């Protein structure tokens, strides 16, 4: 069982930055695909970014490319999401997800077995 705990959410103005953290209780002998998804009120859940713990390979969904950066600290068992140039459209609950992987990272939320409780990000204009 992998537990995920997000932190770092908050309220910022347009153009501001935030760093989200996800503390994971993963097994060091197993590699995982870790990721961030988000859901805004009245909208469908969408992907943000993924990272493979075995090699650091990353993937970004189009809406955040060039603005967000996902990274990992395997020693601390943490995954981070640095969000720059935030826009009101980035307002959502952000969820950390994890799935054991041999190298492939799905882009679908349903394919991740482990999910955190979420952290709220609010960007005001």
**Other C-beta atoms lying within 10 Å of the C-beta of residue 60:** 18
Q: If we measure between CA atoms, which residue out of 25, 35, 29 comes closest to residue 2?
A: 25
Starting at the edge strand found earlier in the chain, the sheet holding 4-7 runs: 4-7, 18-24, 78-83, 68-73
Residue 90 CA: distances (Å) to CA of 5, 108, 125: 20, 19, 11
The low-confidence residues of the chain, meaning pLDDT below 50, are none
- Residue 29: the pLDDT is 81
d(CA 123, CA 125): 7
State residue 87's pLDDT score. 97
Rounded to an integer, what distance in angstroms lies between the CA atom of residue 15 and that of residue 37?
21
What is residue 53's DSSP assignment? T
What per-residue confidence (pLDDT) applies to 55? 87
pLDDT at 22: 97
Report pLDDT for 89: 96
**C-beta neighbour count of 71 within 10 angstroms:** 14
pLDDT at res. 35: 96
Question: C-alpha 26: how far from its chain's center?
Answer: 16
**Per-residue pLDDT at 74:** 84
Q: Which two tokens stand for residue 26?
A: 């993963």
């Amino acid at each position: 069982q992998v537990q995920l705990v997000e932190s770092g959410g908050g309220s910022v103005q347009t153009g501001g930055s935030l760093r989200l953290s996800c503390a994971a209780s993963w097994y060091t002998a197993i590699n995982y695909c870790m990721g961030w998804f988000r859901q805004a009120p009245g909208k469908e859940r969408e992907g943000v970014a993924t990272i493979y713990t075995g090699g650091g390979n990353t993937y970004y969904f189009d809406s955040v490319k060039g603005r967000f950066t996902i990274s990992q600290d395997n020693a601390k068992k943490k995954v981070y999401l640095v969000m720059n140039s935030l826009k009101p459209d980035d307002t959502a609950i952000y969820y950390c997800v994890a799935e054991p992987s041999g190298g492939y990272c799905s882009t679908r939320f349903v394919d991740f077995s482990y999910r955190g409780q979420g952290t709220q990000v609010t960007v005001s204009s």
